[in-house]
Amino acid sequence: MNVVAHPAAPPRPGLFKRLGASLVVPAVFDFWASRLHSTWSWDRPLARIVGRRVESCDSTTLLLQPNRHWTGFRPGQHMNIGAEIDGTRIVRSYSPSDAPRADGRIAITVKAIPGGRLSRHLCRDAKIGDVLTLGQAFGGMTLPDPPEGRWLFLAGGSGITPLMAMIRAQAAAGMPVPIALMYWAGTRDALCFVDELRALAARHADFHLDLIVTRDDASSDVRHGRIDTVQLSAFVPDLHQRRVFACGPNDFVATARALTEERAAAFRAEAFTPAPWIADDDADAGEVTLTLALSGHTLDVPRGVSLLSALEAAGLQPASGCRMGICNTCACGKRAGTTRHLQTGGVEHEPVSALRLCVNSARSDLTLEL
Ligand SMILES: Cc1cc2nc3c(=O)[nH]c(=O)nc-3n(C[C@H](O)[C@H](O)[C@H](O)COP(=O)(O)OP(=O)(O)OC[C@H]3O[C@@H](n4cnc5c(N)ncnc54)[C@H](O)[C@@H]3O)c2cc1C
Ligand code: FES
């Protein structure tokens, strides 16, 4: 990948860690170690930005050098990335856009979302040398190992990133399985990786590419249109034999599912934005009292909004990541009270050990283990 890079991986303070395991307070170690090297930490995965490249009119690829606590990823997985913005740590999920690299570095490609806090920071303000917090990679949208099957990848906007990592990994292995990629963006200049994808399609008979824009007119090499059955059937007449991976905003993934799930050999999807909340007008009105048992806070929070948003609006910073119920970073115990799942509408009266704050709202007074 042709990204401007800065060398120097952090050394491995393994011996020191073994000797000091019973004596060291990790936060104190991190405070002093970070003064010697920006990504030294007792146990926290951190990454330094070592390269950046403008990838399209609104997307930027950042090359990250993780410290030794990062345990790697499989193409198609994602991880939480955090940055300090105006004194607040903002964490979101990102998918590596490149295959695992021999030098251990990770490439992420971030689309700047209008009004978005972390994406705009990473695309515009983040500099080489800045340190980001890193979660370990997870997620099951990966190809079988060894690869098998015929695949159709459907990418909407920034949903290209995990698919690109899988395509690059397969290309490096000589494209052992047939892959067809349909990739939509609003405009021609918002499409990422175009030259590389075209070169791969020219080089590998088993890699087929269809670039589509929804707002620009069609041009000689890019079609116009939204995802529909006619386009799908024309591009992949063997859809019934293909396994589909779809990735992008929730409405794109929902349409892809509706059009292909019943007709393809298998369907798997990852939405980058949450499904719309299920509203419950009567039960979602008014406020309840939220008690945070471990920190001793008591506050009033509105019903009908996620507990994560309610706590953040009150100036607190509970741990979070994907903000849509998939990474479990925000999970905490609920000792008492009733909650409602905002995506399923399900109501939970019993104590639970891992309540996900980002997809649950308060329905009655609550006590949480926070
Ligand atoms: C599993 C997973 C993997 C992801 N991988 C990537 C990735 O590789 N590259 C990438 O750019 N983003 C990725 N995202 C989206 C990313 O986590 C953030 O949501 C996004 O960068 C916006 O964050 P923000 O802080 O700028 O916006 P916020 O301040 O959190 O939100 C601003 C608004 O933008 C909306 N929004 C968020 N993401 C999108 C989107 N992709 N398209 C349209 N609207 C959106 C939000 O719903 C919200 O209304 C991924 C999300 C998930 C769940
Ligand atoms: S932040 Fe990922 S599950 Fe809540």
Ranges assigned E (strand) in the chain: 46-54, 59-66, 79-85, 88-94, 106-111, 131-134, 150-156, 179-185, 207-213, 223-224, 242-248, 266-271, 287-292, 297-302, 331-336, 339-341, 347-348, 352-356, 360-362, 366-368
Report the residue among 119, 193, 330 best suited for mutation to probe ligand 1: largest number of ligand atoms under 8 A from its CB: 119
CATH superfamily of 14-134: Translation factors (2.40.30.10)
CATH of domain 287-368: 3.10.20.30
Measured distance CA(72)–CA(361) in Å, rounded = 34
- What 3-state class would DSSP assign to 72? coil
Note the pLDDT tens digit of each residue in 112-169.
999 999 999 999 999 999 999 999 999 999 999 999 999 999 999 999 999 999 999 9
Asked whether the domain spanning 287-368 has the same topology as the one spanning 150-271, the reply is: no
Measured distance CA(192)–CA(54) in Å, rounded = 9
Note the pLDDT tens digit of each residue in 20-72.
666 677 877 787 777 778 788 878 899 999 999 999 999 999 999 999 999 99
Distance 241 CA to ligand 1 centre (A): 32
Residue 44 region by backbone torsions, left for phi larger than 0, else alpha for psi between -120 and 50, else beta: beta
pLDDT computed for residue 160 by the predictor = 98
- The residues spanned by each domain of the chain are 14-134, 150-271, 287-368
DSSP 190: G
Distance 228 CA to ligand 1 centre (A): 24
pLDDT computed for residue 119 by the predictor = 98
**What is the b/e burial string over 315-342, where b = at least 16 CB atoms within 10 angstroms of the residue's CB?**
eeebbbbbbbbbbebbbbebeebbbbbb
The first and second tokens of residue 303, run together, are 């019903």
Q: Is the CB of 157 under 6 A from ligand 1?
A: yes
Is the pTM higher than 0.85? Answer: yes
Q: Is the CB of 95 under 6 A from ligand 1?
A: yes
What pLDDT tens digit does each residue of the chain (370 aa) get? 444 444 334 445 566 666 666 667 787 778 777 777 878 887 889 999 999 999 999 999 999 999 999 999 999 999 999 999 998 899 999 999 999 999 999 999 999 999 999 999 999 999 999 999 999 999 999 999 999 999 999 999 999 999 999 999 999 999 999 999 999 999 999 999 999 999 999 999 999 999 999 999 999 889 999 999 999 999 999 999 999 999 999 999 999 999 999 999 999 999 999 888 887 766 778 899 999 999 999 999 999 899 999 999 999 999 999 999 999 999 999 999 999 999 998 999 999 999 999 999 999 999 999 9
The first and second tokens of residue 51, run together, are 């390269």
pLDDT computed for residue 19 by the predictor = 64
Measured distance CA(59)–CA(119) in Å, rounded = 9
Distance 89 CA to ligand 2 centre (A): 15
Write the CA distances from 193 to 33, 100, 109, 187, integer angstroms. 38, 17, 10, 14
Which residues are near ligand 2 (CB < 6 Å)?
Answer: 320-323, 325-330, 356, 358
Cβ(217)–Cβ(186) below 8 Å: no
DSSP 309-360: HHHHHTT-----SSSSSSS-TTEEEEEES-EEETTT--EE-S-EEEEEGGGE
**Regarding the domain delimited by 150-271, which CATH topology (the fold level of the hierarchy) does it fall under?**
Rossmann fold (3.40.50)
Counting from 1 in the atom list of ligand 1, the atom nearest the Cα of 93 is 17
Counting from 1 in the atom list of ligand 2, the atom nearest the Cα of 320 is 1
Distance 92 CA to ligand 1 centre (A): 7
